[in-house]
Amino acid sequence: MNAIYPGTFDPVTNGHVDIAERSAKIFNQLIIAVIKSPNKKTLFNCDERIEMITKSINHIKNVKVMKYSGLTVNFAKKTNSEVIVRGLRITSDFEYESEMALVNRRMEKSIETVCLFSSLENQILSSSRVKEIASLGANISTLVPKNVCIPLLTKLKNHDYK
């Protein structure tokens, strides 16, 4: 069975890598699906987000990274993936994720959503928090993969991140 793990990944965090590693053990093939134009404004463009996540998961054999736009269920179908993987962190994620799963299921019955509970150390981790912490000069080395630290600090230096 194949799965996609969709998201914005602006930037990828240790929480995303943890979900990718664990999903890769469950599914034959996992595609990390990086949305090109999410509803939110991104700090990194799509190619930059893809480059960072590709380097972060290159130790996992059955995972690849692809860019997509449009509906997530359509991308799942196009890539012959039967499952959408999402990570569930604190309880507030549940409402957002369950609504998204229901909408996706209404649009495409053949695709199931599987949520994995985030590991304890990643429960309060998000890309926005990482950007905020980095922009305020704190150490992010335990929150993101090694290869993300320099691009993130460099980007923030050249941006007025709010």
Rule CB under 6 A: which residues touch ligand COA?
Answer: 6-10, 13, 15-16, 19, 35, 38, 71-72, 87, 89, 100, 103-104, 118, 122, 125-128
Q: Running DSSP on this structure, what letter comes out for residue 43?
A: S
Does 127 participate in catalysis according to the annotation? yes
- Taking the complex as a whole, the smallest distance from the CB of residue 13 to ligand COA amounts, in Å, to 5
Q: Two tokens at 65? A: 């990274």
Q: Measured from the CB atom, is 64 or 129 closer to ligand COA? A: 129
Q: Strand order of the sheet with strand 83-88?
A: 63-68, 29-35, 2-7, 83-88, 112-117
Residues counted in the chain: 162
Catalytic residue among 49, 127, 131, 135: 127
- Taking the complex as a whole, the smallest distance from the CB of residue 152 to ligand COA amounts, in Å, to 13
Catalytic residue among 89, 118, 131, 135: 89
Q: Measured from the CB atom, is 58 or 98 closer to ligand COA? A: 98
Does 59 participate in catalysis according to the annotation? no
Q: Two tokens at 57? A: 């998961």
Between CA 42 and CA 91 the distance in angstroms is 25
Does 159 participate in catalysis according to the annotation? no
Does 16 participate in catalysis according to the annotation? yes
Between CA 153 and CA 59 the distance in angstroms is 24
Residue 29, phi then psi, degrees to nearest 5: -135, 140
Q: Two tokens at 50? A: 């893809």
- Nearest residue relative to ligand COA (C-beta): 15
- Taking the complex as a whole, the smallest distance from the CB of residue 60 to ligand COA amounts, in Å, to 15
Residues with catalytic annotation? 16, 40, 89, 127
